[in-house]
Amino acid sequence: MILADLSDPTELDRLRTAMAVESLPGFRCMCAGDVRFEFLDADDGELTPVVLHHGEALRWDGWDSDALLTDGRPLLLWLDSHGVPGPLRGFEETEHRRERDQKEAAHWRAAMPTALGDLSDRLLSLSRTGEQATPGLLNAVRERLEPAFPDPVARALALLAWCGAGSGRCSGFPLHEEVPGLLLKDVPITEIVAGLQDFRADSRHYAGAVRHLVGWKSRRKQKKDIAALPEPVRIRLLQEAQASGDHGKQARAERWLAPTRPR
């Protein structure tokens, strides 16, 4: 328990300002909260408790819902200055993840084939709703890609570049990022190899191929398809994984793509 003396009017005003709220939007967080403030009178009698939620909202029994703070950071800084640094650290980590996720989503959207522009919001919403891509949605994507890329090799290249975008992770990635991989699952390995051997192929396509080929059950005949890779392509894929800085991806690539040894 951390005790703070609020008998100083300046300190009380600082906390009051930090606890300023802007609205009662009508929702209540499902969790118990992060910090419980218990305000006491001069005789240590309890006046009222107030609970902080995620550095963004306050809960008080006198309100019908949680109240959004005007700015949560001053209250987090107040707590930090009084020996409670955890909420500020947690809030900053959450903000960092949010900024990273927004940047990765923008990168993924930019790599999306332009023919899918009208589906972009629907695809990105998969991560917000927690839903997986339905067969109908995947068919809608295919129906736009096939006329936009009538050449199978060009279509494979477009999917590979898209697959490598966003977070680039082989696990723990947003749900919308699985869409290019699901489409590549039905692309014959011969077309993927032809794309990687095409003069237009660059590190974007190899990054997407690594992510797809070494992902969890990413192809129906994954082991056989990887065994069919020409040795130069296999080596280039392994180099791409090693240069990614993603230790999980690198470990998976080394298991799947290690050069074959002559018997």
Q: How far apart are CA 157 and CA 153, in angstroms?
A: 6
Note the pTM of the prediction, 2 decimals: 0.79
**What CA dihedral angle connects 219, 224, 229 and 234, to 10 degrees?**
80
Q: How far does the chain reach from its first CA to its final CA, in angstroms?
A: 67
- The per-residue pLDDT for range 11-34, each reduced to its tens digit, is 889 999 999 999 999 999 999 999
Q: In this structure, what are the phi and psi dihedrals at residue 159, rounded to the nearest 5 degrees?
A: -70, -40
- The per-residue pLDDT for range 138-158, each reduced to its tens digit, is 999 999 999 999 999 999 999
Is the distance from CB of 37 to CB of 69 less than 8 angstroms?
A: no
Nearest to 126 by CA among 181, 189, 62, 88: 181
Question: For residue 4, what pLDDT is reported?
Answer: 81
pLDDT, mean of residues 205-217: 96
- The per-residue pLDDT for range 70-114, each reduced to its tens digit, is 999 999 999 999 889 999 999 999 999 999 999 999 999 999 999
261 confidence band (pLDDT: 50, 70, 90):
very low
User: Does pLDDT of 205 surpass 90?
Assistant: yes
